[in-house]
Amino acid sequence: MFTIEHDFDATVITLVDEGSTHLQEDVTITAFEDCVTVEQVDPQTDNVVKITLSSRQLHELAAALDLPEGVYRVRPVGPSDASS
């Protein structure tokens, strides 16, 4: 299950781990104009762990989810590349 909320300066997505075994803490993803943060409570320390990704890192992560093992560089799409 997940929720989506639109705040003034960000979109907030919360992922809730549902199931009967090995449940993880909720994950909160906050998308700002220039970055995305991912937060989750560490159950051992009860502290929030936060990761910040730039827009480029997020774009590369999305691309990487569909690729096999290897080393890649995402090329920006130029005006001539977009009209195929």
pLDDT single digits (tens) 58-84: 989 988 988 899 998 888 776 665 544
pLDDT above 90: percentage of residues in the chain: 68
Q: What pLDDT is stored for residue 76 in this prediction?
A: 73
% of the chain with per-residue pLDDT over 70: 90
Count of residues for the chain?
Answer: 84
**Sequence spans of domains, the chain:** 2-64
Beta bridge partners of residue 7, listed in sequence order: none
Give me the residue label for tokens 């989506």. 4
Structure tokens that stand for 24 in this block:
């993880």
Per-residue pLDDT for 39 more than 50? yes
Q: What is the pTM of this model?
A: 0.78
